[in-house]
Chains A and B, each alone.
Chain A
Amino acid sequence: MSIAEQNAPLSDDAQGMSYLNRLPRRIVVIYLPLLVFVFVLLFPFYWMAITAVKPNSQLTDYSNYSPFWVVKPTLDHIKYLLFETSYPGWLWNTVVVSVCATVLSLAASVFAAYAIERVRFSGSRSVGLLIFLAYLVPPSILFIPLAVIVFKFGIYDTKLALIFTYPTFLIPFCTWLLMGYFRSIPFELEESALVDGASRWQILVRVILPLAVPGLISAGIFAFTLSWNEFIYALTFIQSSENKTVPVGVLTELVRGDVFEWGSLMAGALFGSLPVVILYSFFVDYYVSSMTGAVKE
């Protein structure tokens, strides 16, 4: 369903001229570099996972145990993480904030994208351009004034602060993506609904949205991932431990003093990554289409 696949050449053509290359050459030019890339890109995750289950005695004892393997894996670090720190609470906060911010942004973006792309009110083109520019405004230049605003609104150090500020980067992204999807839906469908006496609202809910479900999924999971991974706002706007999200909690509360608890730190990183990785593994094509879609438009 991805855009990449739609644009790909016909499948009988995909092999192209690659049959002209002989095997030894392919091994050196293609398979070997690919293996190196995969190894380098995946090694940090392997290292994260293996450290998370290594007993402390093996963790830094490289001379007696091979560092690349673990002899008697332990669940101590994970147990410590789940039962002696606020980690489950941080996970829950991250879920709540990400889901709320995503739903909020998706709702606002559906209306905005529909208005820009299909209602075509006067000035809709420049609004579309403004949305794209808004997508380019990075959080690192907004967090100081936003902290002031969040404080004035009285939502400093609450989950609401994050739920209201995450849409600043989610709405532009989702709107931009959904505009592309709405554009691909034929005008004729809307026109016939209009002729049959449907209102704009009915057209949006009954005609456009059901057809844009793949776009909604793409935008939704992507927005969820972006809010799950967000760091600078969560670091700035949240003070108390019980409101922290996973990335901030792991970094500010599990890292303390001079003795690093590498085992539990890596377990925290692993468990904080798993939800998005699992989500990703189910929706790979939607991710790819939303990523390339945002770039190609």
Chain B
Amino acid sequence: MSAVSSNSFARSNTAVGLFFMLPAAAFLLCFLTYPLGLGVWLGFTDAKIGRDGIFIGIENYQALARDSVFWMAVYNTVLYTFIASVLKFGFGLWLALILNEHLPFKSFFRAIILLPWVVPTVLSALAFWWIYDAQFSILSWSLMQIGWIDGPINFLGDPNNARASVIAANVWRGIPFVAISLLAGLQTIPQSLHEAASLDGATGWQRFRFITLPMLTPIIAVVMTFSVLFTFTDFQLIYVLTKGGPVNATHLMATLSFQRGIPGGQLGEGAAIAVAMIPFLLASILFSFFGLQRRKWQQGGQD
């Protein structure tokens, strides 16, 4: 087909291609590209709910720069993303390595491990809310029975406890995705490499460090970019568990943007906070891009 590259054929191809692209393009332009632009524009206006704003330059951003709650949200978001991603990666890789072993009921384990990721986040977050209850937390009760603590832990009432609690819930939800994706990557590594290495006297750690890890790097890069992206823009867990409290101490940028924009009615300011997330997102997408680039030489091709 590609051999027949007469001019009219190419032109008809373009027409057919554009025609087939039409529904998807219409949707995405209308509900993705346009809102993205509108969001950037709203960030430069003082729009409120029920009133079109006027252009006010970077006043929203100047106000945010002086706003300690905003900086707290930025700090929380970076901290939350960093700690949760590191933990998700560590536990996820561990779980993937376990599942890659020869196990009975392997597909059954693989199926149930993915459950936290399938269930709606809000609904599992409700279960965590109940687990983190200030008075009747099952965690506190169990620890008290063992004798490790004297009174119930105030999981969500104290800023640092609350941060740790939401990070734990996020890690719980994120492990399956990382583990199952990395497992798919692990299964593409030929066993013969491991056998050859152990014949040469490599220890288990050396085989992991010099075979598994390098072979897995491209997939790790992509999986972790997705994970970072979704953790950074997380909204649901915080909204259910703390609503940003106590006293704005656990707001992420997404929840602060919602808080200011929708219940607070300050669409312009909310949009400005959302726009402030974009540089971080771009940074992680670029990271993913360069992560993907490494694929070629790892598959033995030219750079």
Q: Is the CB of A288 within 8 A of B120?
A: no
Q: Is the CB of B187 within 8 A of A7?
A: yes
Q: How close is B299's CB to chain A, nearest CB, in angstroms?
A: 13
User: Which A139-161 residues have C-beta < 8 A from chain B?
Assistant: 139-149
Q: Is the CB of B181 within 8 A of A109?
A: no
Whole-angstrom CA separation of A168 from B39 in the bound complex: 15
B interface bracket (residues with beta carbon within 8 Å of A): 35 or more
The segment from A71-79, A80-88, A269-277 found at the interface with B is A269-277
Q: How close is B203's CB to chain A, nearest CB, in angstroms?
A: 13
| B180 touches A (CB below 8 Å) | yes
User: Which B205-257 residues have C-beta < 8 A from chain A?
Assistant: 219, 222-223, 226, 229-230, 232-236, 239-240, 254, 257
| A14 touches B (CB below 8 Å) | yes
**Pairs A–B under 8 Å by Cβ, sample size 24:** A17-B198, A18-B101, A30-B101, A30-B103, A34-B103, A34-B109, A37-B98, A38-B109, A45-B124, A48-B124, A122-B10, A124-B17, A142-B32, A142-B35, A148-B38, A164-B27, A168-B31, A225-B118, A235-B239, A262-B130, A277-B118, A295-B222, A296-B184, A296-B185
Closest residue on chain A to residue B270 by CB atoms: A144
Q: Which residues of B contact A44 (CB under 8 A)?
A: 116, 124, 127-128, 131, 172
Given the interface pairs A141-B39, A142-B36, A231-B236, the reply to whether A287 lies near B114 with Cβ below 8 Å is: yes
| A23 touches B (CB below 8 Å) | no
Q: Which residues of B contact A288 (CB under 8 A)?
A: 110, 114, 180, 184
Chain A window 106-143, contacts with chain B (Cβ cutoff 8 Å), 1 for yes, 0 for no: 01110110111001111010010001011011111111
Q: How close is A20's CB to chain B, nearest CB, in angstroms?
A: 8
| B141 touches A (CB below 8 Å) | yes
Whole-angstrom CA separation of A127 from B14 in the bound complex: 13
Q: Is the CB of B31 within 8 A of A265?
A: no
A interface bracket (residues with beta carbon within 8 Å of B): 35 or more
Q: Is the CB of A136 within 8 A of B120?
A: no
Q: Is the CB of A42 within 8 A of B14?
A: no
Given the interface pairs A33-B94, A115-B17, A231-B120, the reply to whether A42 lies near B115 with Cβ below 8 Å is: yes
Q: Is the CB of B191 within 8 A of A273?
A: no
Q: Is the CB of A108 within 8 A of B126?
A: no
Given the interface pairs A127-B21, A231-B121, the reply to whether A145 lies near B14 with Cβ below 8 Å is: no
Q: Is the CB of A141 within 8 A of B28?
A: no
Q: Which residues of B contact A45 (CB under 8 A)?
A: 115, 119, 124, 127
Whole-angstrom CA separation of A120 from B9 in the bound complex: 12
Q: Which residues of B contact A235 (CB under 8 A)?
A: 239, 258
Q: Is the CB of B118 within 8 A of A111?
A: no
Q: How close is B212's CB to chain A, nearest CB, in angstroms?
A: 12
Q: Is the CB of B24 within 8 A of A175?
A: yes
Closest residue on chain A to residue B117 by CB atoms: A291
Q: Is the CB of B230 within 8 A of A138?
A: yes
